[in-house]
């Protein structure tokens, strides 16, 4: 079974690499020290500090595996070759809600780089997925938890 491609910016890739390095070098050592200290308290069968440290260790190891998988499958989004006629990952789009006429500007990014408060929405989010492959002037209906919202695509940029 092939693994899912992870779309990421150069900055996002660098951040994932830094996070992985931090987990492997700093966090692993911190939790190992906590486990060692908890063992020194004696009986580990009823030692909540030991249980907490072991749970944290499992979480860290899971995070390491997840980041390594994402890095293995990372594909850097290259905004130089972006087409400004059709929305794709990396595009910046200006849209208007057809009901209340409010305008929004978003950059469509991979899930790793998503930060809605900074105007970066994932290509896997309802709005991001619905906008993909459309062009300026199109009206796009987006299924969101509150129902269906229609957006008009005003502009596409890099």
pLDDT digits (tens, 9 = 90+) for 83-141: 678 898 888 999 999 999 999 999 999 888 899 999 999 998 999 999 998 999 999 99
CATH of domain 79-157: 3.10.50.30
pLDDT given for residue 4 in this prediction: 79
How many Å apart are CA 25 and CA 77, to the nearest integer? 28
Say what the alpha-carbon torsion angle 125, 128, 129, 132 is, to the nearest 10 degrees. -170
Top-confidence residue, 34 or 81: 34
Residue 84's SS3 state is: coil
Domain range annotation of the chain: 6-76, 79-157
Give domain 6-76's CATH number out of 3.60.20.10, 3.30.360.10, 1.10.287.180, 2.60.40.10: 1.10.287.180
Count of beta carbons in the 10 Å neighbourhood of residue 45: 7
Burial status of residue 84 (CB atoms within 10 A of its CB: 0-12, 13-18, 19 or more): middle
Is the pLDDT confidence value at 1 over 60? no
How many Å apart are CA 50 and CA 155, to the nearest integer? 56
Is the pLDDT confidence value at 12 over 90? no
pLDDT given for residue 138 in this prediction: 94
Residue pLDDT, tens place only, 26-55: 999 999 999 898 888 777 777 788 888 999
Model confidence, pTM: 0.68
Task: Name the token pair of 112.
Answer: 């790793």
For the chain, the farthest-separated pair of C-alpha atoms sits apart, in whole angstroms, at: 69
pLDDT given for residue 6 in this prediction: 80
Is the pLDDT confidence value at 82 over 70? no
């Amino acid at each position: 079974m092939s693994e899912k491609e992870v779309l990421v910016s150069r900055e996002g890739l660098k951040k994932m690499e830094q996070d992985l390095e931090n987990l492997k070098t700093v966090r692993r050592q911190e939790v190992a020290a906590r486990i060692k200290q908890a063992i020194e308290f004696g009986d580990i069968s009823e030692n909540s500090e030991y249980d907490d440290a072991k749970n944290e260790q499992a979480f860290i190891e899971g995070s390491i595996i997840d980041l390594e998988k994402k890095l293995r499958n990372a594909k850097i989004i290259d905004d130089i070759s972006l087409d400004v006629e059709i929305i794709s990952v990396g595009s910046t789009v200006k849209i208007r809600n057809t009901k209340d006429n409010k305008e929004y500007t978003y950059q469509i990014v991979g899930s790793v780089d998503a930060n809605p408060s900074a105007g970066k929405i994932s290509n896997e989010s309802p709005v991001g997925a619905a906008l993909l492959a459309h062009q300026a002037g199109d009206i796009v209906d987006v299924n969101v938890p509150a129902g269906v919202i229609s957006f008009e695509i005003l502009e596409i940029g890099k």
